[in-house]
Amino acid sequence: MGVAATAATALIPAIGSADPVVETAAKNPPLKFSKVRVSSDHSVTPGQQEWILVSRLPPRTKLKVAIEPPPTTPQCGKYYFCRSVRVFPVPGTPPYRSSAKGRATLSFIMPSHYTIQSDPFRPSTRQSVAFANGQAVHIDVLGTKRTRKATRVGFGFGRAVVHIPPA
């Protein structure tokens, strides 16, 4: 009986140590996704200040905004990989952040170029390409807010068309 009691005593700490691992995995806050609404005037001009309205975000969230050509762009889908261009607040304006109701008005300077690559693992294949007149673009917005109760992720995009005024 002494050997059986020793073996049982040795197994109890092992079983007891497995429970906290399961409990900590169960204590991770759940992910909650929301589809963000991005509104613009549907026209963007490279080098000019643009405004977008964003709603349905997690409250008081820091935001990231990027401009990208959609995957339906011929050069982006077949032979090349197109990289999105991250945009930042216009100098003198506050950082991107949603309100307590999950809304924001964001301003940025529309970039004039984006990058394409034929091989995403070789940086030497990168090429800078100018946005063309009439080209469709996506305005992507991402906001993530982590609390004790949940991790809230809001993602959405709006569509716009590049307009280059005649010289």
Return the pLDDT at 2: 52
Nearest CA to 62 out of 13, 100, 95 is that of 95
* Structural domains of the chain, with CATH: 30-162 (2.60.40.230)
SS3 76: helix
Q: What is the pLDDT of residues 40-55, one digit of tens each?
A: 999 999 999 999 999 9
- Does pLDDT of 123 surpass 70? yes
